[in-house]
Amino acid sequence: MNFDLFFQYIVAGITYGTIYAVVAIGFNIIYNATGIINFAQGEFVMLGGMTAVTLLRYLPLPVAVLAAMIITMLVGGLIEILFIRWLYKPSVLRMIIITIGLSILIRETALHIWGEGVKALPYFTGTSVSSIKLGGVFISPQVLWVVGISAVMVALLNVFFSYTITGRQMRACSVNRDAARLCGINAKNMVTLSFMLSAAIGALGGCIVSPITYVQYDSGTPLAIKGFTVAILGGLGNSVAAVAAGLVLGILESFSIWVMPAAYKDVISISILLLILFVRPSGLFGSKEAGDLKEF
Amino acid sequence: MRSRIHFALFGLVAAVIAVQQVTAYTGSEYYLTQLTMSAYYSLVIVGLCLLMGYAGQISLGHAGFFAIGGYISAFLTTHDLSPLKDGGIVAFLSKAGLLSQRTDLYGGQLLTVQPWAACIIAIFATVVIAYIVGGPVLRLKGHYLAMATLGFGTIIYRIAIGTTALGAADGLSDVPPFRLLPFLEVSGEMSDRVQNYYIAWGLVILAVLFSLNIIHSRIGRALRSIHGAEDAANAMGIDTARYKLNTFVLSAVFASVAGVFLTHYNGGIGPSEASIMKSVRYVAIVAVGGMANLWGALVMGTLLNFLSLRGYLGTYDDAVFGGILIIIMLFVPQGLLHIDVFRGLRGFFLRRPAEKET
Amino acid sequence: MKAVTFVMVSILCILMMAASPVLAADTIKVGAILAVTGPASFLGAPEAKTLEMMTEEINRKGGIMGKKIDLIIKDSGASPEKALSFAKQLIEEDKVLAIIGPSTSGETMKIKNVAEEGKTILLSCAAAEVIVNPVAKYVFKTPQNDSFAVIKIFDQMKKMKISKIGVLSSNTGFGQAGKAQIEKMAPEHQIQIVANEVYDKAATDLTAEVTKVKASGAQAIVNWSIEPAQAIVIKNARQIGFKGPIFQSHGFGNIKYVQAAGPAADGVIFPAGRLLVANELPKSNKQKAVLMAYKKDYERRFKEDASTFGGHAYDAMLILTKAIEKAHSTNEEAVRNAIENLKGVVGTGGIFNFSPQDHNGLSIGSFEMLTVKKGKFVPLGK
């Protein structure tokens, strides 16, 4: 394998990895606030992409993306209020099943609204054929958009959780909900907020990757499985680690096709997930003690 | 207690016979086709109900075990061994009477493994895989357990859809009938319909009988204690890990047997049988029936699969299952047969805690 | 105990409910098993729409020989076990004259025996050659053979002096059947396969795969798939700077893929039925009238572009109606014999000439080499 080729694979891996990481961050936000894994996270990504494509007919691209984020955010909030907010200390099993049910319902609704066809937003800059040549390596401008926007997003999230009152309140809820409530934080609103935030992030992710991956009514679930893998790989709840884990998995996947048929690519990533679960459930980057303390 | 169970079992047998008699009488025996297929899916569900309801462990990968059974027996009974006829292993198998010669639809000669042998190999493989996977997986809890089983199911699905020898996306076809006894055969032929209906339901009844015996024994009490409070059970000296693992393997075997039989009945298997959506459906049905309610799971399994296989749900098939999952889990987490809808509804509208989780 | 009573009552209720026998006098029952939802919905959905549209049209004109068509569409979601259950239902209960579909090869192969046993005509909309080879008495198919498409592509390559190719295919029945044909026929056309990759049909980025092909020194890429992923192949190939021609299979015949791929799709060469270039065909072309009519009706009614997939269902229904008219009967045996003797039926996929040995009826001439110019399909070399 020559040098250029090696880097071409790295670039491919970074593209996959960033996409997975965006989904994983959505998982983490809800997990942090509620201890729930939202199996419908992939559907938020799909909804964002689909809505933006539809709105593009009437609005310019940046406005359409923003509007799609807001709409998906409202859907996320609505889902939380209707299906989760009023449950009293639901068991993990029950929450898993409810969110799986939601994911199926959203997907089937999307099928009946948008039909079965593939859709895509146009490239933010340039076209599907343009690429930037760095040495012998070709990079699509959209990849730079995806990486750039994701980086900004992670940075903003960090600022939000560290420096704003609301962000700190959400963190407080994740550490100890009862104590947070005693301090006068409305824990229920924080949960709703976390759903809205993660829906918006999912939608943004769906918009920025849709020129590369396309979007279809059923494209949410495969993304959710990958995102979930990455979230666990990085250690549930840790968004910065999720980005790192996403890149690791993406690059592994892109190199895996040298050694085995591409059709088994998913088998590799999921086997890694299972191994991690068995050996080090706190994730690659999570601390063991913290992992043990988490309630499941 | 005992007599009630026997009474219920007797009722089930009576119901099975009555349905067949009614269809024969009204000339609508074609319903038996879907009832037979539903029975095999119900077999998976009975096993999953033991695991989820009684041992309290979720599995989002049970379609994987179904597919392991189905694919192994389909592959062995359709893969032509005649080019290897003179090879050592094939010659040995042939001497041991494990191979059978048959002519395919177009007059070609096929030398394949005998269905009985294939069935036993498939079940054996399932047991081995279930032990290997179950050991580490069942040490996990909650989301991690759900994800690990989902991951297992996905791997099986990927292998089924990515392997050319297993027919990739097309799956395997032309699986021969499975002759259980000289006069009893699992096949999709219309003339064999009634006997297949009884084979399938006979299997379900056996599984139910076996499961009930487990539930109402020491093992069953141990399992329920795991569901209730695993640490407490452990402290009482119950080897919870072993009980969980054995239940997992047992439910995997139920799924695998269903896979073997349904594959022979359908004459083939495709990757859709291994899909995540299938696993989710099984979980949905157990949830609807009431987690720890074998009868409920059986009823709902038969009913929902029957409706789905007859195409009554149209293009809303998956949506119906998704909707059922949500509604049941929101309002009646104890299952449909424990109807307490009004309390649930009141909780929803008054925004009050509906009920405490058990 | 309550539960058991509940089982009995519910099952009996269903039986009673469904057992109400209504046999509308004098209709022709036609079943259709199509993957309207699920992973193959891009095939099944346009097929179902086409059939609904045609049935309405035929019935509005008074039906065939005065009998209206009663179309029963079942959504299999591309799962073989459902297709099988539906096939048995349609044959035994509804006693349909013929079944149109299924959409995928895997499903078709599973119900082939059921149709044979039930002596019901099966007009498959799936492409794999095993469906009609060896010939089963009651089983027909309307899409063109994969091997014709491969020969067309290889002929074109010879003209372009291409001898080393990289093959990409998706892990579906369609992709794998095409790959097998390419591997089989490449040597006799003096073409060398220097890279051969299979990818997942739900893939979202294929840069790694095309990079491997590019590194192998292939002069051209041949991609064989029917899913949206094929648009990703072209895009990624161009992005990493692959300059050679890209060939696609007849599965590319859906303008949505061209739109999704954007400018990258320009210059893609692929064989397809003439539906896609109906506007550009000369007036002398025999298919032009049929193609234009179907395209116009479909696009007006459903507000989306017609694809060759819907065309397969169109052809199936067309063949069935022609056969019924020719046999002048709705007897299964008579209609089946009539199909075998149909000659010169002008459909969307080509001109069908059936015979007892050929249950597809299309020749290599049914394919036209097309290319993409500015986001539109045009005949190659024009």
Kindly state the tokens that stand for C335. 């209609």
Compare all CA atoms of chain A with the CA of B349 and give the residue at the minimum distance.
A86
A1 beta partners: none
Do residues C138 and C116 lie in contact, with contact meaning Cβ atoms separated by under 8 Å? yes
How near does any CA of chain C get to the CA of A131, in Å? 5
Torsions phi, psi for B295 (to 5 deg): -65, -45
Torsion C148-C153-C154-C159 (CA) sign: positive
**pLDDT at A12 exceeding the cut of 80:** yes
How near does any CA of chain C get to the CA of B310, in Å? 7
Q: Does A24 touch chain B (CB under 8 A)?
A: no
Touching A: B residues 69-128, CB under 8 Å: none
Residue B176: Cβ within 10 Å count: 21
Compare all CA atoms of chain C with the CA of A221 and give the residue at the minimum distance.
C202
Whether B301 and B338 share a structural domain = no
Residue A112 with chain B: CB contacts under 8 Å: 315
Q: Does B284 touch chain A (CB under 8 A)?
A: yes
CB–CB contact B272 C77 (8 Å): yes
Whether B236 and B277 share a structural domain = yes
Least confidently predicted of A114-123, A286-295, B118-127, B128-137: A286-295
CB–CB contact B169 C5 (8 Å): no
CB pairs under 8 A between A and B: 132
Residue C260 with chain A: CB contacts under 8 Å: 118-120, 214
Domain span at residue B333? 313-358
Structural domains counted in chain A: 1
CB–CB contact B357 A264 (8 Å): no
Substitution target in A130, A138, A269 with the highest count of C β-carbons within 10 Å is: A138
**pLDDT at C31 exceeding the cut of 90:** yes
Indicate the SS3 state at residue C360: coil
Touching B: A residues 194-223, CB under 8 Å: 221
Q: Which chains touch B (3 or more CB pairs under 8 A)?
A: A, C
Which CATH homologous superfamily contains domain C27-144+299-364?
Answer: Response regulator (3.40.50.2300)
Residue A91 with chain B: CB contacts under 8 Å: 357
pLDDT digits (tens, 9 = 90+) for A46-80: 999 999 999 999 999 999 999 999 999 999 999 99
Q: Which residue type does B45 have?
A: I
**pLDDT at C172 exceeding the cut of 80:** no
Count of alpha carbons within 13 angstroms of residue C197, beta-carbon side:
32
Residue C343: Cβ within 10 Å count: 10
Strands C121-124 and A137-139 turn out to be: unpaired
Compare all CA atoms of chain B with the CA of C41 and give the residue at the minimum distance.
B315
Q: Does C359 touch chain B (CB under 8 A)?
A: no
Whether B155 and B201 share a structural domain = yes
Torsions phi, psi for C200 (to 5 deg): -75, 140
Count of alpha carbons within 13 angstroms of residue A289, beta-carbon side:
0
DSSP string of C76-101?
-TT-HHHHHHHHHHHHHTS--SEEE-
Do residues B276 and B1 lie in contact, with contact meaning Cβ atoms separated by under 8 Å? no
Kindly state the tokens that stand for C190. 């003096």
How near does any CA of chain A get to the CA of C38, in Å? 8
Nearest residue, CB atoms, A213 vs list C205, C209, C265:
C205
Q: Does A128 touch chain C (CB under 8 A)?
A: yes
Domain C147-272 in the same topology as domain C27-144+299-364: yes
How near does any CA of chain A get to the CA of C4, in Å? 27
pLDDT digits (tens, 9 = 90+) for C75-125: 998 889 999 999 999 998 889 999 998 998 889 989 998 998 889 999 999
Do residues B265 and B192 lie in contact, with contact meaning Cβ atoms separated by under 8 Å? no
B109 beta partners: B103
**pLDDT at A104 exceeding the cut of 50:** yes
Nearest-CA neighbor of C150 among C193, C206, C212? C193
How near does any CA of chain A get to the CA of C146, in Å? 22
Whether B342 and B196 share a structural domain = no
Give pLDDT, residue B350: 58
Q: Does C241 touch chain A (CB under 8 A)?
A: yes
Torsions phi, psi for A153 (to 5 deg): -60, -45
CB–CB contact C79 B105 (8 Å): no
CA distance B165 to C168: 19
C370 beta partners: C270, C379
Domain span at residue A227? 3-293
Give pLDDT, residue B202: 94
Structural domains counted in chain B: 2
Q: Which residue type does A107 have?
A: R
Q: Does C208 touch chain A (CB under 8 A)?
A: yes
Kindly state the tokens that stand for C22. 């209504």
Q: Which chains touch A (3 or more CB pairs under 8 A)?
A: B, C
Higher pLDDT, C199 or B67: B67
Q: Does A224 touch chain C (CB under 8 A)?
A: no
For the segment A241-262, the average pLDDT, to the nearest whole number, is: 84
Strands A132-134 and A137-139 turn out to be: antiparallel
Confidence category of residue C192, pLDDT binned at 50, 70, 90: very high
Nearest residue, CB atoms, C264 vs list A11, A129, A257:
A129
Confidence category of residue C129, pLDDT binned at 50, 70, 90: confident
Give pLDDT, residue C100: 95
CB–CB contact A232 B347 (8 Å): no
Residue B28 with chain C: CB contacts under 8 Å: 15, 18-19, 93
Substitution target in C1, C5, C7, C33 with the highest count of B β-carbons within 10 Å is: C7
Strands C27-34 and C246-248 turn out to be: unpaired
Q: Any idea what DSSP says for residue A122?
A: P
Residue A123 with chain C: CB contacts under 8 Å: 262
Domain range annotation of chain C: 27-144+299-364, 147-272
With a pLDDT cut of 70, the percent of chain C lying above it is 93
CB pairs under 8 A between B and C: 167
Confidence category of residue A110, pLDDT binned at 50, 70, 90: very high
pLDDT digits (tens, 9 = 90+) for B114-132: 899 999 999 999 999 999 9
Residue C88, classified by CB atoms within 10 Å of its CB into exposed (0-12), middle (13-18) or buried (19+), is: buried
CB–CB contact B295 C136 (8 Å): no
Higher pLDDT, A293 or C304: C304
CB–CB contact A270 B351 (8 Å): no
CB–CB contact A88 B318 (8 Å): no
For the segment A260-274, the average pLDDT, to the nearest whole number, is: 80
Nearest residue, CB atoms, A8 vs list C211, C228, C265:
C211
Please list the ranges in chain B whose pLDDT falls under 50: 339-341, 353-358
Kindly state the tokens that stand for C346. 């002008």
CB–CB contact A296 B354 (8 Å): no
Do residues A285 and A245 lie in contact, with contact meaning Cβ atoms separated by under 8 Å? yes
Residue B304: Cβ within 10 Å count: 23
Give pLDDT, residue A185: 86
For the segment A95-113, the average pLDDT, to the nearest whole number, is: 90
State the pTM of this model: 0.88
Torsion A140-A141-A144-A150 (CA) sign: negative
Higher pLDDT, C18 or A36: A36
CB–CB contact A138 C239 (8 Å): yes
Whether B333 and B188 share a structural domain = no
Whether B132 and B105 share a structural domain = yes
CATH assignment at residue A108: 1.10.3470
Whether B227 and B345 share a structural domain = no
Which H or E run contains C225? none
Residue C231 with chain A: CB contacts under 8 Å: 118, 214
Please, what CATH class does the domain formed by C147-272 belong to?
A: alpha beta
From residue C114, give the alpha-carbon distance in Å to each of B273, C111, C254, C334. 20, 5, 32, 20
**pLDDT at A103 exceeding the cut of 60:** yes
Whether B318 and B213 share a structural domain = no
Residue B136 with chain A: CB contacts under 8 Å: 274, 277-278
Give pLDDT, residue C17: 53
How near does any CA of chain A get to the CA of C50, in Å? 15
Query: Backbone dihedral region of C227: left (phi > 0), alpha (psi from -120 to 50 degrees) or beta?
Result: beta
Side by side, which strands form the sheet with C139-141?
A: C68-75, C27-34, C98-100, C121-124, C139-141
Q: Does A293 touch chain B (CB under 8 A)?
A: no
CA distance C361 to C151: 17
CB–CB contact A123 C257 (8 Å): no
**What's the whole-number average pLDDT of chain C?**
87
Give pLDDT, residue A95: 85
Nearest residue, CB atoms, A98 vs list B318, B326, B353:
B326
Q: Does C103 touch chain B (CB under 8 A)?
A: no
Kindly state the tokens that stand for C239. 């992005």
How near does any CA of chain C get to the CA of B241, in Å? 32
How near does any CA of chain B get to the CA of C39, in Å? 10
How near does any CA of chain B get to the CA of A37, in Å? 7
pLDDT digits (tens, 9 = 90+) for C47-89: 999 999 999 999 999 888 888 999 999 999 888 999 999 999 9
CA distance C98 to C114: 12
CB–CB contact C80 B266 (8 Å): yes
**pLDDT at C4 exceeding the cut of 90:** no
Indicate the SS3 state at residue B211: helix
Higher pLDDT, B288 or A25: A25
